[in-house]
Amino acid sequence: MKKTPFATKEKLEEIAAKYPTPFHIYNEKGIRENAQKVKDAFSWNKGFREYFAVKATPNPFLMDILHEYGCGADCSSITELMLSDAVGLKGHEIMFSSNDTPDVEFKKAAELGAIINLDDITHIDACLRALGGSLPETMCCRYNPGGVYTLSNGIMDNPGDAKYGMTHDQILEAYKRLKDLGVRHFGLHAFLVSNTVTNDYYPTLSKTLFDLAVEIKEKVGISLDFINLSGGVGIDYKPEDTPNDITIIGEKVHEVYDEVLVPAGLGDVALYTEMGRFMTGPYGALVTRVLHEKKTYKDYIGVDACAANLMRPAMYGAYHHITVMGKEDEACDHTYDVTGSLCENNDKFAIDRKLPKIEIGDLLFIHDTGAHGFSMGYNYNGRLWSSEILLHPDGTFDMIRRAEEPKDYFATFDCFPIWKKLEKEWQ
């Protein structure tokens, strides 16, 4: 089985002539169409907002596109807060969901008017300390019900073993304390699994959170203003996977909403999501050129990208489909390990992958890197981050992040005498 690239070989060669490989490329048309589908799927809920998970693809150009469709930003660090502010997101368009949070980050979130989502009951005191003894009128709490969810692909499917969120008893106590401290508007959040390829995850999670919302109303005496279903809605990395249907997901959540919340007098609760992978994942790719072929105990194809450009396969064996551009219709009758140049044996984009005959100079299109692709990059072995390219619907393209240069890598050495020598080297 195969996947179809969203750009032709000719277009990628045109781009590579201006912006050398490797580079991440994003399909603007696909991102826009998908953002509209998400908006439509939850249009029945008057308060709905998608908070795009900035960590997935922290690029202001893409965040700006998503903002056109009403998307806010889910942030997990002070730099993501700063980026969201720079893009023009304001106040409650920003959700701050972090853990093990420094005081300065609570302070920055409050300064921007972002919704602060507390990961632990002890963070109430931490937030009070950071904010000088008073809390914002709106606060959110993160719930961890424990147990095991069996709807994911194994990236994270055991809430009881996860570091995130509060227990059932802790979250009830947290809302009581927040109420006593003057908080007037409340939200509930949970993130239990990652990359589910099923239309049943959000409805299942909704039932868990909606039941808890009713209990909170009965036992604490507060009505939640919003419930954040967070992320976890995955994509079909493998050609044989059946992709999620966000329209069906929205309809199923609607059914649970009407079944649980409406009879309890909570029919005005706004629903939020904070998807990253689903919003941009399928609409990005890593484009890399073949440099070497090595034959020892196996056949290796060496490319000019490495795990520093796409960590997921090396980090947890994630599958990314590969298309050899120009050979889409040829038989996959060769077996290769596709590797990068890092001094680590797990620097492989594919292991024992059936592909057409590959030749030096071929372009490889590594699919579904639009989320947690570029953003997880790093500089091990002194490898530099690639550029990011946006392919517009009319076939034109723009660089939306330049490739890192040696001067960027060495910039943080400016406090050392060696800086002057290094500066001469790259000039």
Q: Determine the 3-state secondary structure of 366 from DSSP.
A: strand
199/147 Cα distance (integer angstroms) = 21
Neighbour tally for 250: CB within 10 Å: 24
- Alpha carbon distances (Å) from 369 to 36, 291, 420, 427: 21, 21, 37, 33
Q: Nearest CA to 210 among 256, 179, 248?
A: 256
Q: Strands (DSSP E) along 212-321, which ranges?
A: 226-228, 270-273, 284-295, 299-303
Catalytic residue among 140, 332, 343, 415: 343
Amino acid making up residue 202: Y
Sign of the CA dihedral with 151 first, then 152, 154, and 155 last: negative
Question: Which ranges constitute the DSSP H helices of 48-163?
Answer: 60-67, 78-87, 103-112, 123-130
Paired with 398 in beta bridges are: 390
Query: What is the distance in angstroms between the CA of the first residue and the CA of the last residue of the chain?
Result: 48
Decide: 13 and 289 in contact? Cβ < 8 Å.
no
Q: What is the CA radius of gyration of the chain?
A: 23
283/76 Cα distance (integer angstroms) = 23
Q: Nearest CA to 253 among 405, 44, 110, 20?
A: 44
Catalytic (active site) residue 140: no
Instruction: Read off φ and ψ for residue 25, nearest 5 degrees.
Output: -125, 140
Query: Which H or E run includes 49?
Result: strand 49-53
List, by residue number, the catalytic residues: 343
